[in-house]
Amino acid sequence: MTKDVKPAAAAKGAGKPAPATPAGAKRTVTVIDNATGRKWDYPVISGSVGPDVIDIRSFYSDSGMFTYDPGFTSTASCDSTITYIDGDAGILMYRGYPIEELVERCDFLEVCYLLLKGELPTADQKAKFVFDITHHSMVHEQLSAFYRGFRRDAHPMAVMCGVVGGLSAFYHDSTDITDPRQREIASYRLVAKMPTIAAWAYKYSIGQPFIYPVNSMGFAENFLHMMFATPCEPYKVSPVLSKAMDRILTLHADHEQNASTSTVRLSGSSDANPFACIAAGIASLWGPAHGGANEAVLKMLGEIGDHKNIPDFIKRVKDKKARLMGFGHRVYKNYDPRAKVMQRTCHEVLDELGLHDEPLLKLATELEKIALNDPYFVDRKLYPNVDFYSGIIFRAMGIPVAMFTPLFAVARTVGWVSQWNEMISDPGKRIGRPRQLYTGATTRHIPKKKG
């Protein structure tokens, strides 16, 4: 963990330095039932950085009560060494390395290695890893027939849920989750095949032949090639665009216990196979409150249409009749650090493509300026998130809107498999089984039928 990261100065009360605990004493928190006067003490556990947690695992057996936290706003569901976010300071780190350094100094496959293994690779380790990932990028040929079962107008995320779930029917030799080597192979397969699967979902939707991966190409370059090449003529991927894509992949690679990652962990907690778990993650990512937001941003900008309509749109947002998509985040209550890098990348891509006067970017910039100065957004700490700019970049690159969220899935797969592996390797792993506050009918009886 980098030394210069300070614990979060988080919302209401969090981040205030805790009163010093006397040397040798363990810090505890006491829960008091004011009705009965009963008291229970719970230990406080500290991580390497970030808010402490209260270990309430025995709370139900002690008290007969559950804790209630829909939306998990105050609940740490696991411990993890992979990704750290300080939402108030706008910090994101993978394995201790700040995201800004990773996008500048590493390529996506180095970041994948870091997330999966905990350390950046040496030159030899990188060469082997690149070889392994590259040589897993082809999918079983029979899978190409699977695509033909979908309607041509199927959303590519629907195709991805199906095809990725279907991988477990093809790769039986990497579904034994108790074998670390099989887990490694499954992880490599998922990371390596996801660009092929996503690009083929696109090719299928436009009726073009599938383009196979090319082993001499880099990860991002290969993906763009499979998306845009045809067998009819050579296709050269722009190095600026493939570098931008590589950076975008790094920015989306992991984000601690978000909805899709928690879905992957919860699915995996029952010992389900990794392909099924990642398919579950893809399903969760699809929602517009999560990965589907990049698609929703473009839709929103299209609906606003012209800068003269911005004030009306902002009014509708404030009246809760619309949401400003690409703004706000459960954890970031400051500028999303990924959005900062995205904004820069966006300008580079538009320069390369000569699209600086792109009306959508102008509209987005104006919308951002207005929102950042409006008390509604300022008071609620609603800043642009990663999806605000990614949609514009993808569109400029010629990626169709329906492919935005599949691209997010391509990038996030390494985070999902890293988190899944971390959970499976934990000797203390238990099935995830939340409880509930039941508010339905109490016991009632079905009247006996007459006759």
Contact in structure between 70 and 217 (CB atoms under 8 Å): no
Of residues 60 and 376, the one with the C-beta less far from ligand CMC: 376
> Each residue of 71-98: b (16+ CB within 10 Å) or e?
eeeeebebebebbbbbbbbbbbbbbbbb
Out of 202, 313, 327, 394, which residue is the one contacting ligand CMC (CB under 6 A)? Answer: 327
Strand segments (E) across 33-156: 39-45, 53-54, 83-86, 91-94, 97-98
Q: Which of 86, 246, 254, 387 is an active site residue?
A: 387
> What is the side-by-side order of every strand in the sheet holding 83-86?
83-86, 91-94, 97-98
Least separation in angstroms between CB 382 and ligand CMC: 5
Q: Establish if 412 lies at the interface with ligand CMC (CB under 6 A).
A: no
Angle at 151 between CA 148 and CA 156, to 5 degrees: 90
Nearest to 394 by CA among 201, 225, 241, 202: 241
Between strands 83-86 and 53-54, the pairing is unpaired
Q: Is 246 a catalytic residue?
A: no
Of residues 137 and 385, the one with the C-beta less far from ligand CMC: 385
Least separation in angstroms between CB 320 and ligand CMC: 6
Contact in structure between 5 and 49 (CB atoms under 8 Å): yes
Least separation in angstroms between CB 142 and ligand CMC: 33
Quick one: tokens of 282? 């893809």
Contact pattern for ligand CMC over residues 258 through 287, marking x by CB under 6 A: x-----------------------------
Q: Is 387 a catalytic residue?
A: yes
Contact pattern for ligand CMC over residues 286 through 315, marking x by CB under 6 A: ---xxx-x----------------------
Least separation in angstroms between CB 50 and ligand CMC: 18
Angle at 409 between CA 291 and CA 201, to 5 degrees: 110
Out of 128, 172, 362, 380, which residue is the one contacting ligand CMC (CB under 6 A)? Answer: 380
> Reduced to 3 states, what is the DSSP secondary structure of residue 30?
strand
Q: Which of 155, 246, 329, 336 is an active site residue?
A: 329
# of chain residues touching ligand CMC (CB under 6 A): 20
Site for ligand CMC in 117-176 (CB under 6 A): none
Contact pattern for ligand CMC over residues 237 through 256, marking x by CB under 6 A: ------------------x-
Which residues here bind ligand CMC, judged by CB under 6 A?
A: 255, 258, 289-291, 293, 317, 323-330, 380, 382, 385-387
